[in-house]
Amino acid sequence: MVFKAPGNSPNVTLNITLGGVDIKRVTKFKYLGHIVTEDLKDDEDIDRERRALAVRGNMLIRRFSRCTEDVKITLFKAYCQNMYTGSLWVGYTQKAMGALRVLYNNVFRMMLGLPRFCSASGMFAEYQVDGFAAIMRKKTSSLISRIRDSPNSILKTLADRFSSPLWAAFVRRVVCERIDPI
């Protein structure tokens, strides 16, 4: 994969071989479950997580419809709040993140049999469950703490560079109330 610089497209296509075999050039690649794209945007990975949340949510709604609210809330927390690699998302569109947030809210509503247009913040407050923005802030805060506390010298260097755009995006997500794209 060749990563594109913002506003810059490579004019030359390189043919790279390994052991006499041409290496195929791709525009996206799934690495450790995270979709990496040549433009370094996270929309495709957010869409992957949105589809996975829809599958998990539908399964929970179908299989556990007769359970108590406490059981449903526990299952929701266990299966719908993980947002795999969500703390790494820094370059995305509002549309992609908004679609994931709406699905997160709707899965919770459907699990508990709440009306379609009830207030999301009200329902999460009433049931003492973290809303989407709180989940994303906690995930990012946890990542920042793990980077700062890591004995890895490369991660320590990253943690010491507060001026980097990536680091600024992480800190902005934890400090800001809304989940805004960069």
Q: Does residue 33 share a domain with residue 51?
A: no
Which pLDDT score, from 0 to 100, does residue 37 have?
92
More confident residue, 174 or 63: 63
Instruction: Compute the distance between CA of residue 122 and CA of residue 144 in angstroms, rounded to an integer.
Output: 29
Comparing CA positions, the residue from 80, 74, 173 lying closest to residue 133 is 173
The domain in which residue 17 lies consists of: 1-40
Q: Does residue 36 share a domain with residue 55?
A: no
> Partners of 35 in the beta sheet?
30
Distance of CA 46 to the CA centre of its chain: 5
Q: Does residue 156 share a domain with residue 136?
A: yes
Q: What is the pLDDT of residues 25-71, one digit of tens each?
A: 888 999 998 999 988 899 999 999 999 999 999 999 999 999 999 99
Q: What is the pLDDT of residues 103-149, one digit of tens each?
A: 999 999 999 999 998 999 999 999 999 999 999 999 988 888 888 88
> Partners of 37 in the beta sheet?
28
Give the least confident one: 72-76, 112-116, 157-161. 157-161
Say if 182 falls within a structural domain: no
What is the H or E stretch that residue 31 is in? strand 28-31
Q: Does residue 50 share a domain with residue 132?
A: yes
Q: Does residue 111 share a domain with residue 36?
A: no
Which pLDDT score, from 0 to 100, does residue 30 have?
93
